[in-house]
């Protein structure tokens, strides 16, 4: 391994941004380097989207397969027109309504975006984040910034700077610590190249939100029936993802029945000598007595669960857990995105 880059880690308060640090970070971007920055979803590993050499460094640092395209981040809506061939009316409406925010749109790209970024596709993924540090960095560097989640490929996306240092120390030029991210799951990816918008990856902006504005919104069948032989339209969705070191089993169905089955399996695995942990919710914690649990949050507050999910998976790894027994959540609103990530993390799903 050639882990020889010196990584500078700096703290920035999103409510009181130190522009000297932003200038230094923008300088690194403009010289073809890599900067990790916070967004409202997860931390991103950024480089100049118009510099192929810099983009290469992203793939290298993450160990990311070359056939998985990157999201290009912009700071103002107008910047989209430099990168996209034709912006359909529907996309303009979504941009107006949901940008800045956790929405990524797939649109036909201009030549200026290289095949490296789009993995040879004729479309590109564009996003305008709301996080102030992210926007300040894009504005200051005056470049569109390519940024996947700042984790080693396959691991849960980072929602705190400590997750980034764990994965990327010595592999990037700078890490900006802007505190915990807000939503905790990656942006919604929506394909705008056909007349009906289609969600390829569920996230903070839901299908209901989009249908509320455009009248309709479809879901790529592959995100619902994971494991079946449907080929996802978003290349990233075909990979096993969000995997902690521990094996994850997901228990779907009625909350009380799930807790009962989880208790049973916990005892079974523990007696086999496996370090077992339960990913619970505020409503079910009482069922597990003094077993090892981490609570994802209150079932009636999906945003709490989404913001905690990836941290919980990483925390189990830090505890040396071999097997995680996780509850599911209702598939409503943000619950769809939470279930999508849990489903991808899980090696096995049990319907109770």
Residue 69 touches which of Mg ion, ligand TXA, none (Cβ within 5-8 Å per kind): ligand TXA
DSSP 245: S
Residue 205 lies near ligand TXA (rule: CB under 6 A): no
- Nearer to Mg ion by Cβ, of 149 and 181: the residue is 149
Question: What span, in angstroms and rounded, lies between the C-alpha atoms of 94 and 76?
Answer: 14
Map the footprint of ligand TXA across residues 261-300, applying CB under 6 A.
Answer: none
Three-class SS of residue 183?
coil
Question: What span, in angstroms and rounded, lies between the C-alpha atoms of 214 and 96?
Answer: 12
DSSP 171: T
What's phi and psi for 284, nearest 5 deg? -115, -10
Instruction: Please choose, out of 115-123, 209-217, 251-259, 270-278, the segment that lies near ligand TXA by the rule CB under 6 A.
Output: 115-123
Residue 243 lies near Mg ion (rule: CB under 5 A): no
In 174-220, the DSSP E strands lie at 174-177, 188-191, 198-201, 218-219
- Nearer to ligand TXA by Cβ, of 68 and 275: the residue is 68
**Cβ–Cβ under 8 Å, residues 273 and 258:** no
Residue 341 touches which of Mg ion, ligand TXA, none (Cβ within 5-8 Å per kind): none
The mark string for 50-89 relative to ligand TXA (x by CB under 6 A, - otherwise) is ------------------xxxx------------------
Q: Which residue among 25, 75, 80, 125 contacts ligand TXA (CB under 6 A)?
A: 125
Residue 149 lies near Mg ion (rule: CB under 5 A): yes
Q: Which two tokens stand for residue 229?
A: 């032989």
Residue 127 touches which of Mg ion, ligand TXA, none (Cβ within 5-8 Å per kind): ligand TXA
How many separate helices (H) and strands (E) can be counted in the chain?
12, 16
| Residue corresponding to tokens 């228990």 | 251
Residue 344 touches which of Mg ion, ligand TXA, none (Cβ within 5-8 Å per kind): none
Helical (H) or strand (E) element with 36: strand 35-37
Question: What span, in angstroms and rounded, lies between the C-alpha atoms of 320 and 219?
Answer: 37
Residue 118 lies near ligand TXA (rule: CB under 6 A): yes
Residue 104 lies near ligand TXA (rule: CB under 6 A): yes
| Residue corresponding to tokens 């981490």 | 294
- Nearer to ligand TXA by Cβ, of 5 and 152: the residue is 152
Q: Could you list the residues that contact ligand TXA (CB under 6 A)?
A: 39, 41-42, 44, 68-71, 104, 106, 118, 121, 123-125, 127, 129, 147-149, 186-187, 189, 200-201, 234-237
């Amino acid at each position: 391994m050639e882990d020889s880059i010196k990584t500078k880690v700096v703290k920035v308060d999103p409510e009181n941004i130190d522009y000297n640090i932003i200038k230094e970070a923008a300088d690194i971007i403009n010289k073809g380097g890599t900067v990790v920055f916070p967004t409202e979803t997860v931390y991103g590993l950024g480089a100049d989207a118009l510099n192929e050499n810099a983009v290469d460094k992203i793939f290298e640092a993450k160990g990311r397969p070359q056939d998985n395209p990157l999201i290009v981040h912009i700071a103002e809506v107008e910047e989209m027109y430099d990168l996209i061939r034709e912006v359909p009316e529907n996309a303009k409406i979504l941009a107006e309504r949901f940008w800045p925010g956790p929405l990524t749109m797939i649109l036909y790209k201009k030549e200026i975006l290289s095949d490296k970024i789009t993995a040879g596709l004729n479309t590109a993924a564009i996003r305008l984040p709301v996080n102030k540090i992210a926007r300040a960095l894009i504005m200051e560097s005056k470049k569109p910034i390519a940024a996947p989640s700042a984790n080693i490929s396959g691991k849960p996306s980072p929602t705190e700077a400590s997750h980034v240092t764990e994965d990327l120390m010595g592999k990037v030029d700078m890490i900006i610590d802007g505190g915990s991210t807000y939503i905790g799951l990656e942006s919604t990816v929506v394909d705008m190249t056909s007349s009906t918008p289609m969600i390829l990856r569920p996230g903070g902006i839901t299908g209901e939100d989009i249908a509320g504005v455009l009248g309709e919104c479809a879901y790529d069948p592959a995100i619902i029936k994971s494991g079946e032989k449907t080929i996802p339209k978003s290349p990233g969705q075909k990979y096993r993802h969000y995997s902690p070191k521990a094996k994850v089993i997901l228990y779907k169905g009625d909350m009380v029945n799930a807790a009962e089955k989880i208790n049973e399996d916990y005892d079974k695995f523990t007696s086999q000598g496996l370090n077992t942990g339960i990913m619970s919710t505020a409503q079910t914690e009482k069922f597990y007595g003094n077993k090892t649990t981490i609570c994802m949050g209150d079932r009636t507050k999906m945003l709490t669960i989404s913001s905690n999910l990836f941290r919980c998976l990483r925390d189990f790894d830090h505890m040396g857990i071999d097997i995680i027994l996780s509850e599911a959540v209702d598939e409503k609103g943000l619950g769809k995105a939470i279930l999508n990530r849990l489903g991808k993390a899980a090696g096995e799903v049990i319907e109770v």
